[in-house]
Amino acid sequence: MEQKFDFIFLEQFIKRIPMYTGEEEQSLIVAFVHGYEAGKANKNLTDEISKILNIDYGISKPAVGWPYQVKVYSEKNNCSWVEGFKAIIQEIIFKHRTSYA
């Protein structure tokens, strides 16, 4: 079974976001993630973010997309957008790693 995600990279990215984006800031992270997907020629990561937020947390995907879903999740959990994003990525890593084990 082929892995949809590069788990090692995702772990490194969320631990060292400024190394990849210059700063831990929402717009820079969003731009980086879209560039990452373009380079990988797929949209698996942003689709998975939206799927988890919709199915597990009841946050539907509006026209403004997954960044807004992360914003709603972060507000519900009293954390910054960046911390909410990191939490969702960690959840993706955990869920998919265990399914490939």
DSSP letter for each residue of 70-93: HHHHHHHTTS-HHHHHHHHHHHHH
For the stretch 74-83, pLDDT in tens is 999 999 999 9
pLDDT tens, residue by residue, 52-66: 999 999 999 998 999
Burial of 70 (0-12, 13-18, 19+ CB in 10 A): buried
Whether the per-residue pLDDT at 24 is higher than 50: the answer is yes
Distance between CA atoms of 83 and 12, rounded to whole angstroms?
15
Rounded distance between C-alpha atoms, residue 5 and residue 54, angstroms: 19
Q: What is the pLDDT of residue 1?
A: 40
Domain assignment of residue 20, yes or no? yes
Look at residue 2 and tell me if it is in a domain.
Answer: no
Encoded tokens for 91: 């959840």
pLDDT in the model for residue 81: 99
Q: Are 32 and 20 in contact (CB under 8 A)?
A: yes
Residue 1 lies in a domain: no
Query: Which pLDDT band, with edges at 50, 70 and 90, does 100 fall under?
Result: low
Structural domain of 41 = 7-100
pLDDT of residue 88 exceeding 50, the answer is yes
The total number of structural domains in the chain stands at 1
Task: Tell me 95's DSSP state.
Answer: H
